[in-house]
Amino acid sequence: MLVSVQMSAHIYCGTSGYSYPPWKPGFYPAKLAAKKFLAHYASRLNAVESNYTFRAVPSEKTVSDWIANTPPDFRFAIKAHQDFTHSKAAPSQEFAARFFGALAPVQSAGRLGPVLFQLPPYAKVDSDRLLALIDLCPEGSRIAFEFRNTSWFVDSIYRILEDRRAALCLAESEKLETPRVMTAGFAYFRLRKGAYTPEALAGIAADAAKLRDQGKDSFLFFMHQDDPTGPKYAEEVLKLSRK
């Protein structure tokens, strides 16, 4: 059973994924082997959002490698498997138990961040489906929901999330920006704009620092797989938030 223990608040910042050879040599050393990417990444950033888990339940070896290559203060945010979010019906309790059971060693090692349920753009508001997904999650686990259809941005959905202590993922891109509604004791940001100015990064860091001062953890993830812009943004946010 996954249980989330709240300690002093922190800012966790990184990118969606880390296994990107185009990040050489701007972020990864030019001759760094792919199997050493995670250890290097974790020496500079303190969180990563795993996209791998969207398509596969992580194996024991994968989970073991995650733990072995990261320090104790590192966190893995886990994207929920597509069977949760992209199938017509919610998956079985058996599948949910297998998925969350695979994450148990990450939790035991103190590395588990939130599990993100990213619904597809065509999925319109459905409170019953939302409740069914929440009920599949182990009690006490941190979960966040990213809605990519504006029909979800209504008070009734915010109340469900708040009642169940689930976070509304605060996502932003050129196409859609989630209303800034806090529904949980932590915040989950997906920062998907094409570019961020130094002023914008300073604002992101300041917002996360305010949440930290309020006792709330923040999890912030940039994109940009084709070049090292994303991890450099994340490094800058972490640097600014420590001032």
What does the pLDDT look like over 124-182, one tens digit per residue? Answer: 999 999 999 999 999 999 999 999 999 999 999 999 999 999 999 999 998 899 999 99
Residue range of the domain that includes 134: 13-241
Cα 168 to chain centroid distance, Å, stands at: 12
CATH number reported for the structural domain that contains residue 48 in this entry? 3.20.20.410
Tokens coding 170: 């605060």
Could you give the strand order of the β-sheet that contains 112-118, starting from the edge strand earlier in sequence?
167-168, 143-146, 112-118, 75-79, 47-50, 11-16, 217-222, 186-191, 170-172
The answer as to whether 1 is a domain residue is no
pLDDT score of 1 more than 50? no
For the chain, the domain total comes to 1
The answer as to whether 8 is a domain residue is no
Of the given ranges (39-48, 82-91, 92-101), which has the lowest mean pLDDT?
82-91
The answer as to whether 6 is a domain residue is no
pLDDT in tens, 107-135: 999 999 999 999 999 999 999 999 999 99
SS3 content of the chain, % helix, strand, coil (to 5): 40, 20, 45
Residue bearing tokens 């940039």: 222
The answer as to whether 7 is a domain residue is no
The answer as to whether 2 is a domain residue is no
pTM summary value: 0.94
The answer as to whether 133 is a domain residue is yes
pLDDT in tens, 72-93: 999 999 999 999 999 887 789 9
